[in-house]
Amino acid sequence: MQRKMTYVVRTYEGLLKSGMHAGQRFTAADAIQRLKGVVGRDSILKALKAGQGQQAFFAPSTPIDTANTTDGIAHSHLENVSKKCFLIASKNQEKIKRGRPNHYYRLPSNTKLCQILGVKATHSDVLESDDFISARKTRVALHRELIKRRAGSYPKRWLASRLGVSRRTIYTYTRLLPIHSRAMFLETPIHWKTIGRLPLDEPLSGAYLQTQRGKKYPALCQIACRLLASGQQVCLKQQTANFYWYGDVEPSPLEWAKWSQVQAQKREVMEAFVSQRSLELPIIHKPLKNVSQSCSSNDYQKFERTMPKNVCDKISWFCLTDGFSAKDPMQDTYQMNSQ
C-alpha cells in the first residue's frame, strides 16, 4: 500500500477469496475469470507483472508437459501386421490453436510476499469481497479495520503514509466511516523556572496558554510573565496526535488517562534526549551589548521587575548588535536599528 500497489493487494486477496491456495498454478485468463466483476482486467495484468526489484510477486511457472510418455508401448517390427483394409468414416479436422501460448503463474504465500518486500510477517485484518471492488474501497476498508481493531492515538501523517495517500484523503475517509476522533493535549505547568521554554518572537504552533479560569492566550513568554506576575496559575497545552475510535460508543475516561500518560512519557524521553544532545554540542558565546543601548530603558525597566534573571538574559539575547532592537518587549514587536 505504501508503494501505491493497491492493484496487487486486490488481485492477491481476491484470488485467495475465490478459493485458490498458495502455490497453485494459474494463467492470466483464469485470474480474470475468477475475479470478474471484482477486479478489472488491466489491474490483474498489471499485478501479475509487478514485483520488487528483480523478484516478481507472482513468479512465472513452467507449464507441465502433458505428453503421454509414461504409458507409451514399444512395438517391434517383427510383429505380424494385418493386411486387411477397413473403411472408417472421416472426422472433422481439429483446429490448431493460434495466438500466444499461455503463461503460468504461481500464487505466493504471505511469508513469501513479506520476504520479497523485506517486512516482518504479522497478523492482518480480514476484508470482505466487496472491499476489493475498487482501490478506494480497499483503502477505506483497511483504515476502518485498523481503528476497529485497535483504537488509539495515531498521527495523521502516519495514517496517510500507511495507505500511500495524503492527509486530506485520510480526513475524507474518516468522515465517510463511523470513526470519531478527539484532540489530545500535553499539559505542562508554567512557572518562573520553566518560562524560558516559551518563545519571544512567534507563538508556538498547536499550543496555547490556559489559566485556572479557562481563559486561553497565545504561547508567548511575555504573556506568561504578565499572568504569573498577576498571581494566576498558567498551563501550557500542546496538541499531539488525535485519539481515534470506531462506533458511537466513546471510550472510558480511563482510556483517555492511559493515553495521556503514554504521551507524557514519550515527551519526557524526547526532552531527555534533546538535553543530552545539547550538552554534547559546543556552546559558542556571543558578545552582548548593554541592553539599555539597544532597548528603551523605561520600558525595559518596567518589564524587568516582573521577570526572573533567566528570562531577562533571554531578552538580552535578542538585543544583539546584528541590526535588531526591541521596541516594546511587552507587545513583542521589533524594529531595525537605525545605526
Cβ contacts of residue 211 below 8 Å, gap of 6+?
217, 227, 232, 233, 234, 235
Predicted pLDDT of residue 171: 93
Tens digits of per-residue pLDDT, 189-221? 888 888 888 888 888 888 999 998 889 999 999
pLDDT at 60 over 90: no
Mind listing the pLDDT tens digit for each residue in 101-155? 888 999 999 888 888 888 888 888 888 888 889 999 999 999 999 999 988 889 9
Is the distance from CB of 278 to CB of 212 less than 8 angstroms? no
Grid coordinates of 68: 503421454
From the CB of residue 51, how many other CB atoms can be counted at a distance below 10 Å?
Answer: 15
> Can you tell me the distance from the alpha carbon of 44 to that of 274, in angstroms, rounded to the nearest whole number?
49
Q: Is the pLDDT of residue 301 over 70?
A: no
| pLDDT given for residue 251 in this prediction | 77
- Of 61-75, 202-216, 311-325, minimum mean pLDDT range: 311-325
Which residues lie closer than 8 Å to 252 by C-beta, 6 or more apart?
Answer: none
Q: What SS3 string covers 85-135? A: CCCCCCCCCCCCCCCCCCCEEECCCHHHHHHHHCCCCCCCCCCCHHHHCCH
The answer, yes or no, to whether residue 45 has pLDDT greater than 50, is yes
Binned at pLDDT 50, 70 and 90, residue 30 comes out as: very high
d(CA 9, CA 47): 8
Banded pLDDT at 93 (limits 50, 70, 90): low
Computed over every residue of the chain, the mean pLDDT equals 75
Q: What is the pTM of this model?
A: 0.64
